[in-house]
């Protein structure tokens, strides 16, 4: 993409004086320009500089001086902070403080598709989830209640934005003061905000995560087009705003470790480095996240423990939920250890009171105090370019600080005061005289033993009256206000039958109270109370908390059951004496050795040897190439269908691969080594697909097979007709044909525009706007240019013929008809056209259009020379594709050798991977499976699944893995029970069952 | 054709016809099946078997080498030459004949409106002309328990034979049991917690308490059809089938059945049943085990757990059979033999696996006195396959009989196969 030369527009500048300068004053002006000094404190000037016994001097909301030798001018109000701590106040740069909550206004309903233009009124973007023009500063209202809540946590300044939509507009920097908005708002348009979340948009598009990604990309291309072509006929406020704000820091709410990687990929394409708002599970892919070079904003929302005392209930909590519960507090420590710059946010915390608790928990779990402080002061300020004003207590900076009773990371430390821009907000008054203790209360000569307990804020008094053998306790009300004290009680004894009301003053640091009292008989008396000698306090031996050397819970890859402790490595391997199904001219070789080296099949023969090779005994076993599932929907995040438009060629499954799907491991256990992950069958032109090897434990990017041609899903028939409600075109097979012609012809015309533009001389080009890049049409052209191949969901012969006609007329070949349950009716035509068929072995009767589906379909297509495969479209069937292949033997009598190719070599051919996969041939990828028996037999079980020479599934280690699963689960359950007994909050045992996608699954 | 040997070669006879499959006529001729490998369904195998079929029943079931056979007695002697003979496979908890095309609502008749419908009877909705059934019986599945679904109490099932002119002909055991779904702790599709769970359990208890009270008298002033339909469950004439997979649901279902003195309880599903084997045995509760070909329910479960559940239940001594409900269930019924095959692949004996889809199923359905195995005196309901019927690689059903009536094993799909094979051959 062409580099954008954009101008940073600063609409508001910092204004550190009271902003009401411009306002009219009612009556006499009252301006205070005194100094305030905070003396004798332990002061953190910044996250790493602590000075003892120091003074902070402020004036007019700014810091004048800080240090051990601060000269205090005459007009200074002095606060003695002996024993107290003083920190720069905390900064949260991911907040929606003071923002109106977005309201969804009606639904677009079925058929009200984005394409119809449901955008908000005015010259804005066509899609309502793209709202970069939203300016938080213009929406901001002071919300004293919420400000107070945040001040209690120690925050002084927050960066706020309206958390609604995919492109959300800009943020505003505000203090948590209670003044007029003008005095609270510090800066507008500080950062630009994005998220993978449609928010209140009523547009149907995008209906999936991959749709959101495509929309962001297309919007950036539109911005580029607008920026580089001044003469275009469109005025678009939204896109113009993106241009204006291009150079601002960009914060992307990704909310999952994998989505951080997804967002970063978008950024890479457009030379944009985002700051990522994460979710707290970054530790699970820390290496990849580090590699993004993005800064992070991380919440402190640790999951609650589950109620697992009932062992039956405990079964409901899945392994990964337990693991994450245990590991979540360690996340920040791990992020810090990996030297990733991060800020901490209180967002995502439903119970804000958990903020400091969780922060301290993180510190106990490996996050250093200085790193924690840095993540709440320096980093957030620095991320948004405001460290010159906030984030530390240096001269000239804003007087935002908190006073605490102790080191803020100590469990018992309290925040006493939060000063915002030089204005005091008391949270817990440290100036209160502590009157707790035991006193001799002398009321006109009568002595009572008064015991005061409770807290300085709420003292509780009791007098023990001894009459004979009985002791009665009398409650005494004590109210302390500054140095004044009131004591009320009714002794009901020989001295007094009514209430004694005493008023007085406190002196000697709380040790002596005295004053006048009024008895119930109306008599005034003198009274005093003198604190008794301190009881010899039991020498509490400072229990040196056993600081166990920090044990960070082990992260598995992925962090779930069967996850790996470390990434699998390839070893030189010889499988000895197996029956080898080569899928080549050699056929099935008995008693044969196969050498795997450097991830490839190196030799096939007898008596093979290689230095240092591990030997796998293949005697009486069968070795085959790995199964390739041509049609799978496993390992996909947040939606397999972008249903919302008839043509969505711009979206791609490769953007949303989910490496954390347990079904990856389960497919490995069924001998599957590669899968073609397809978009669903909602629309005539679906999205682009991804081809992965099941490299369990790897990241999504590492799972992708590199350098493969692109593929795309098309779909015909009932799913296309019924999806998207009753008013999306097409509703009939007739309409489907026209959608195709329209899409391809538009793509051709689009290409023609570009060609014409390219033919212009440079000079001519300068005067003509360039065509706009259209990702959808670019993809359609890839198909016509034979750079991308179609796998088309199809059932009935009529529409199959139709698509072949469309393809013929556009000069390309339909690569694969997938499902193709009536392929047997048109196998000759498919053969002639050059299309392959990837079908189900025996599914039928689930829709009207599969009424004529027959299990002999594969056999007939194969016999007619069509490259034929069996696929699953189903996570369950996907791991039994060997059995499905056997059905080609049963139904139609295909030879065993050929039937086996239906799930190996033939799908490799259909995916254009047969040059490196799909058979046991020297030089091909070492993707092999060792079976206990003939792989087509139902009695065959998988013994080893090897990809690139690495063993990913091994029946021999399964028992140990299951045991490890059970042990690990039991260990964490035990920990959870202890945590609950220790007062941790819990939730009911439950786990969300992950959704299984099929072709026709709509929604995320 | 007395005294004639009718020699059948492997896969040699396809009764190719364009007609719709017609129910076979009543057996009139005496048949002797010779030298087949007979898998009796009770765990035994007779390698060179002699099996006679007279008036729809098995008579001789023996080793051909050890008995003297008077061939003159038979009208037809079929030389099987090592082909395999199996008792008809039984599909319990099936919606066959109640649904034709999954996505077409109007072809579905298995789920009635409302939560408590013990009185709705599957049998009258059972469609003997279902095209699906013909593809199912072509793989050796010859009987089924046709079962309503949905609600808390779905309705009453009946057992049928898969070759009949109409449902009255098809009935093998009418109204064999009432089917109840234990309230789900989470929603099937969304995975979200079921907030109404406690309320639903309370409603069930309330229903059972009232149904039981109602059943104590016969001259109820006002007839309540729902409660009438529950009488059999309390007096032992019918079985209560509770569909439940997880440990808590299973144990709660057992406790409920005890509380209301339910005579016969069967757990359908039973994913966690092996964990409460003792409780099941103690209360004589048997299990129809959920589809073997399914995914584990929990992330950390053994990846092969559904394949291994038969072995676990067998080892634990729980009496059980295999069922097939779930996605694509009607058409998938034809894969029932392969579920047994997978059970065998994962640890149990093949003949033991066969019991799980034949004699054990018959026993749980209460029809084992007359069907479910190849034993003298039982119905001659069986099929012949050229190879091991539990393995798709070798399963090839050449003929099938229900009560001695030879069935047409052709179907819509085979016809299309022939039609289009012919198209290409003639091109």
Determine whether the interchain pair A860/B424 forms a contact, defined as Cβ–Cβ distance below 8 Å: yes
| Residue A76, number of CB atoms within 10 A of its CB | 17
By the 8 A CB rule, do A644 and A853 touch?
no
Residues 280-339 of B with CB under 8 A from A: 293-296, 298-300, 302-304, 327-328, 330-331, 334-335, 338
Cα separation, B31 vs B85, in Å, equals 14
Sheet strands (E) in A161-316: 167-170, 172-175, 185-187, 192-195, 250-253, 274-277, 296-299, 305-306
| Residue A228, number of CB atoms within 10 A of its CB | 13
What chain B holds in terms of domains, given with CATH numbers, is 5-87+384-425 (2.30.40.10), 89-371 (3.20.20.140)
b/e map A739-776, b = 16+ CB within 10 Å: bbeebbeebbebbeebeeeeeeeeeeeeeebbbbbbbb
pLDDT at A292: 98
Determine whether the interchain pair A848/B186 forms a contact, defined as Cβ–Cβ distance below 8 Å: no
Beta bridge partners of B91: B144
pLDDT at A498: 84
Q: What is the ipTM of this complex?
A: 0.95
pLDDT digits (tens, 9 = 90+) for A178-214: 999 999 999 999 999 999 999 999 899 999 999 999 9
pLDDT at B18: 60
pLDDT at A20: 66
Among A15, A94, A940, residue whose Cα is nearest residue A421: A15
Q: Which residues of chain A have pLDDT under 50?
A: 1-19, 108-118, 536-546
pLDDT digits (tens, 9 = 90+) for B67-82: 999 999 999 999 999 9
Residues of chain B contacting A886 with CB distance shorter than 8 Å: 391-393
Among A731, A727, A728, A707, residue whose Cα is nearest residue A717: A731
Determine whether the interchain pair B417/A966 forms a contact, defined as Cβ–Cβ distance below 8 Å: no
By the 8 A CB rule, do A588 and A579 touch?
yes
CA torsion A82-A87-A88-A91 (nearest 10°) is -140
Question: Quick one: average pLDDT of B301-307?
Answer: 98
pLDDT at A113: 44
By the 8 A CB rule, do A837 and A820 touch?
yes
pLDDT digits (tens, 9 = 90+) for B366-397: 999 999 999 999 999 999 999 999 999 999 99
Sheet strands (E) in A734-815: 788-794
Residues of chain A contacting B330 with CB distance shorter than 8 Å: 845
- Residue among B248, B303, B325, B344 with most chain A CBs within 10 A, to mutate: B303
Residues 86-145 of B with CB under 8 A from A: 100-104, 131-132
By the 8 A CB rule, do A525 and A514 touch?
no
B352: which residues sit within 8 A by CB, 6+ positions away? B43, B314, B344
Determine whether the interchain pair B104/A876 forms a contact, defined as Cβ–Cβ distance below 8 Å: no
Residues of chain B contacting A993 with CB distance shorter than 8 Å: 186, 191
pLDDT at A480: 87
What chain A holds in terms of domains, given with CATH numbers, is 90-103+111-389 (3.20.20.140), 437-531 (2.40.128.120), 567-626+918-959 (2.30.40.10), 627-911 (3.20.20.140)
CA B201 to chain CA centroid, nearest Å: 29
Q: What percent of chain B has a predicted confidence (pLDDT) above 70?
A: 95
Cα separation, A196 vs A198, in Å, equals 7
Cα torsion angle, A404, A405, A408, A413, sign: negative
Determine whether the interchain pair A848/B104 forms a contact, defined as Cβ–Cβ distance below 8 Å: yes
Nearest to A864 among B131, B394, B424 (CB): B424
Q: Is A526 exposed, middle or buried (0-12, 13-18, 19+ CB in 10 A)?
A: middle
Determine whether the interchain pair B417/A939 forms a contact, defined as Cβ–Cβ distance below 8 Å: no
Determine whether the interchain pair A876/B295 forms a contact, defined as Cβ–Cβ distance below 8 Å: yes
Nearest to B331 among A844, A966, A992 (CB): A844
Cα separation, B253 vs B239, in Å, equals 13
b/e map A540-577, b = 16+ CB within 10 Å: eeeeeeeeeeeeebebbbbbbbbbeeeebebebbbbbb
Contact status of B393 with chain A (Cβ, < 8 Å): yes
Among A166, A379, A165, residue whose Cα is nearest residue A262: A166
B31: which residues sit within 8 A by CB, 6+ positions away? B52, B53, B54, B74, B75, B76, B77, B78, B404
- Residue among A563, A658, A800, A844 with most chain B CBs within 10 A, to mutate: A844
Determine whether the interchain pair B295/A995 forms a contact, defined as Cβ–Cβ distance below 8 Å: no
Determine whether the interchain pair A318/B186 forms a contact, defined as Cβ–Cβ distance below 8 Å: no
Residue A339: DSSP 8-state: T
Contact status of B247 with chain A (Cβ, < 8 Å): yes
Measure B381 CA to nearest chain A CA, in Å.
23
A445: which residues sit within 8 A by CB, 6+ positions away? none
Using left for φ > 0, alpha for ψ between -120 and 50, and beta otherwise, residue A15 falls in beta
- Global pTM reads 0.92
- Residue among B420, B422, B424 with most chain A CBs within 10 A, to mutate: B420
Residues of chain A contacting B336 with CB distance shorter than 8 Å: none
Residues of chain B contacting A988 with CB distance shorter than 8 Å: 193
Cα separation, A877 vs A375, in Å, equals 48
Cα separation, B270 vs B247, in Å, equals 8
Nearest to B295 among A875, A939, A988 (CB): A875
pLDDT digits (tens, 9 = 90+) for B179-219: 999 998 777 666 677 888 889 999 999 999 999 999 999 99
Comparing A503-512, B98-107, B231-240, which segment has the lowest mean pLDDT? A503-512
B328: which residues sit within 8 A by CB, 6+ positions away? A843, A845, A846, B102
């Amino acid at each position: 993409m062409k580099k954008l030369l954009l101008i940073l527009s600063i609409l508001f500048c910092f204004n550190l004086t009271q902003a009401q300068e411009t306002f009219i004053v009612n009556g006499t002006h009252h301006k205070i320009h005194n100094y305030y000094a905070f003396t004798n404190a332990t002061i953190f000037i910044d996250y790493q500089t602590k000075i003892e016994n120091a003074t902070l001097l402020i004036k007019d909301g700014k810091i004048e001086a800080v240090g051990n030798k601060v000269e205090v001018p005459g007009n200074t109000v002095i606060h003695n902070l002996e024993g107290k701590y003083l920190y720069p106040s905390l900064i949260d740069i991911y907040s929606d403080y003071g923002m109106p909550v977005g309201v969804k206004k009606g639904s677009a309903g079925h058929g009200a598709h984005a394409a119809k233009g449901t955008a908000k009124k005015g010259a804005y973007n066509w899609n309502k989830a793209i709202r970069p023009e939203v300016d938080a500063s213009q929406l901001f209202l002071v919300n004293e209640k919420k400000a107070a809540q945040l001040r209690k946590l120690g925050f002084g300044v927050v960066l706020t934005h309206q958390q609604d939509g995919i492109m959300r507009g800009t943020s505003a920097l505000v203090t948590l003061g209670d003044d007029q908005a003008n005095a609270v708002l510090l800066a507008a348009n500080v950062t630009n905000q994005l998220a993978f979340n449609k928010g209140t948009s009523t547009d149907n598009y995008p209906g999936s995560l991959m749709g959101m990604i495509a929309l962001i990309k297309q919007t950036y291309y539109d911005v580029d087009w607008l920026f580089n072509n001044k003469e275009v006929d469109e005025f678009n406020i939204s896109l113009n705003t993106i241009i204006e704000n291009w150079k601002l820091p960009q914060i992307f709410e990704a909310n999952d470790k994998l989505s951080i990687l997804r967002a970063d990929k978008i950024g890479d394409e457009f030379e944009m480095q985002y700051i990522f708002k994460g979710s707290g599970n970054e530790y699970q892919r820390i290496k990849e996240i580090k590699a993004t070079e993005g800064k992070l904003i991380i919440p402190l929302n640790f999951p609650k423990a589950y109620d697992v005392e009932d062992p039956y209930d405990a079964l409901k909590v899945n392994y990964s939920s337990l693991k994450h519960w245990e590991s979540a507090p360690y996340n920040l420590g791990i992020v810090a250890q990996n030297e990733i710059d991060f800020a901490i946010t209180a967002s995502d915390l439903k119970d804000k009171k958990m903020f400091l608790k969780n922060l301290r928990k993180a510190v106990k779990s490996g996050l250093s105090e200085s790193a924690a402080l840095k993540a709440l002061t320096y980093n957030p300020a620095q991320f948004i370019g405001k460290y010159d004003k906030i984030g530390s207590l240096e001269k000239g900076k804003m007087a935002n600080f908190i006073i605490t009773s102790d080191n803020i990371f100590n469990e018992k430390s309290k925040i006493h005061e939060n000063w915002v821009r030089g204005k005091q907000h008391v949270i817990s008054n440290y100036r209160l005289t502590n009157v707790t203790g035991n006193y001799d209360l002398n009321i006109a000569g009568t002595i009572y033993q008064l015991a005061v307990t409770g807290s300085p804020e709420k003292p509780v008094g009791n007098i023990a009256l001894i009459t004979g053998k009985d002791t009665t306790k009398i409650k005494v009300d004590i109210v302390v206000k500054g140095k004044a004290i009131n004591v009320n009680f009714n002794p009901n004894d020989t001295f007094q039958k009514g209430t004694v009301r005493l008023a007085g003053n406190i002196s000697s640091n709380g040790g002596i109270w005295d004053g006048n009292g009024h008895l119930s008989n109306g008599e005034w008396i003198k009274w005093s109370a003198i604190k008794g000698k301190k009881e010899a306090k039991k020498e509490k031996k400072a229990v040196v908390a056993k600081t166990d050397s920090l044990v960070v819970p082990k992260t598995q890859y992925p962090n779930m059951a069967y996850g790996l402790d470390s990434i699998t490595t390839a070893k030189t391997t010889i499988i000895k004496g197996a029956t080898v199904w080569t899928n080549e001219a050699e056929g099935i070789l008995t008693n044969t050795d196969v050498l795997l080296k450097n991830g490839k099949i190196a030799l096939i023969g007898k008596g093979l040897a290689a230095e240092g090779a591990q030997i796998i005994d293949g005697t009486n076993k069968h070795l085959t190439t790995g199964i390739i599932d041509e049609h799978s929907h496993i390992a996909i995040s947040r939606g397999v269908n972008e249903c919302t438009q008839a043509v969505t060629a711009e979206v791609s499954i490769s953007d949303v691969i989910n490496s954390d799907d347990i079904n990856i491991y389960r497919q490995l256990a069924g001998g599957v080594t590669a899968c073609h992950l397809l978009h669903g069958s909602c629309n005539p032109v679906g999205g682009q697909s991804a081809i992965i090897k099941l490299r369990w434990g790897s990241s999504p990017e590492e799972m992708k097979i590199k350098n493969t041609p692109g593929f795309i899903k098309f779909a015909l028939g009932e799913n296309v007709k019924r999806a998207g409600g009753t008013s999306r075109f097409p509703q009939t097979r007739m309409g489907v044909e026209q959608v195709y012609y329209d899409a391809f012809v538009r793509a051709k015309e689009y290409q023609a525009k570009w060609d014409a533009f390219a033919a212009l001389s440079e000079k001519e080009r300068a005067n003509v706007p360039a065509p706009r890049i259209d990702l959808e049409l670019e993809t359609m052209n890839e198909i016509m240019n034979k750079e991308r191949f179609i796998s088309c969901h199809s059932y009935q012969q009529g529409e199959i013929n139709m698509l072949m006609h469309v393809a013929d007329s556009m000069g390309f070949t339909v690569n694969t008809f997938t499902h193709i349950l009536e392929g047997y009716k048109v196998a000759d035509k498919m053969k002639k056209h050059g299309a392959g068929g990837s079908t189900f072995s025996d599914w039928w009767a689930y829709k009207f259009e599969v009424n004529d589906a027959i299990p002999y379909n594969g056999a007939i297509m194969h016999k007619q020379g069509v490259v034929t495969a069996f696929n699953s479209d189903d996570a369950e069937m996907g791991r039994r594709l060997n059995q499905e292949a056997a059905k080609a033997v049963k139904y139609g009598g295909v030879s065993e050798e050929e039937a086996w190719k239906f799930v190996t070599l033939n799908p490799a051919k259909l995916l254009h991977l047969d040059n490196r996969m799909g058979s046991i041939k020297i030089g091909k990828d070492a993707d092999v499976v060792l079976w206990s028996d003939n792989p087509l037999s139902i009695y065959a079980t998988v013994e080893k699944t090897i990809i690139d020479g690495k063993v990913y599934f091994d029946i021999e280690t399964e028992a140990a893995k299951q045991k490890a699963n059970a042990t690990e689960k039991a260990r964490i359950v035990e920990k959870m029970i202890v945590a609950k007994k220790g007062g941790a909050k819990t939730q009911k045992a439950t786990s969300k069952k992950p959704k299984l996608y099929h072709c026709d699954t709509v929604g995320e | 054709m007395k005294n004639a040997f009718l020699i059948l070669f492997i896969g040699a006879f396809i009764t190719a016809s364009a007609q719709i499959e017609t129910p076979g006529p009543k057996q009139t001729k005496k048949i002797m099946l010779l030298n087949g490998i007979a898998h009796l369904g009770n765990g035994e195998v007779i390698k060179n078997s002699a099996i006679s079929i007279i008036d729809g029943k098995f008579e001789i079931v023996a080793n051909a080498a050890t008995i003297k056979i008077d061939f003159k007695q038979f009208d037809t002697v079929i030389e099987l030459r090592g082909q395999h003979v199996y008792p008809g496979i039984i599909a319990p908890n099936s919606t066959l004949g109640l649904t034709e095309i999954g996505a077409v609502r109007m072809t579905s008749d298995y789920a009635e409106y409302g939560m408590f419908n013990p009185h709705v009877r599957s049998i009258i909705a059972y469609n003997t002309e279902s095209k699906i059934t013909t593809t199912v019986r072509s793989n050796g599945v010859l009987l089924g328990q046709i079962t309503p679904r949905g609600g808390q109490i779905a309705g009453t099932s009946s057992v049928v034979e898969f070759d009949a002119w109409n449902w009255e002909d098809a009935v093998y055991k009418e109204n064999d049991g009432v089917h109840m779904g234990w309230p789900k702790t989470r929603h099937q599709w969304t995975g979200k917690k079921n907030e109404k769970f406690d309320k639903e359990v309370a409603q069930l208890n309330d229903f059972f308490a009232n149904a039981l009270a109602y059943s104590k008298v016969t001259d109820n002033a006002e007839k309540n059809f729902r409660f009438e339909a529950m009488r059999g469950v309390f007096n032992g004439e019918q079985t209560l089938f509770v569909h439940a997979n997880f440990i808590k649901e299973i144990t709660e279902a057992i406790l409920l059945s005890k509380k209301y003195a339910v005579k016969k309880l069967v757990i359908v599903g039973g994913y966690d049943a092996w964990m409460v084997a003792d409780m099941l045995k103690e209360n004589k509760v048997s299990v129809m085990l959920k589809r073997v070909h399914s995914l584990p329910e929990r992330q950390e479960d053994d990846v092969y757990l559904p394949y291994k559940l038969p072995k676990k239940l067998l080892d634990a001594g729980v009496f059980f059979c295999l069922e097939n409900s779930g996605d694509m269930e009607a058409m998938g019924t034809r894969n029932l033999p392969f579920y047994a095959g997978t059970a065998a692949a994962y640890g149990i004996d093949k003949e033991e696996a066969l019991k799980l889809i034949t004699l054990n199923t018959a026993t749980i359905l209460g029809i084992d006195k007359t069907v479910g195995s190849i034993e003298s005196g039982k119905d001659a309901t069986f099929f012949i396959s050229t190879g091991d019927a539990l393995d798709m690689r070798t399963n090839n059903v050449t003929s099938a009989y229900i009560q001695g009536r030879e069935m047409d094993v052709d179907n819509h799909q085979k016809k299309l196969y022939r039609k289009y094979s012919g198209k290409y051959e003639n091109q």
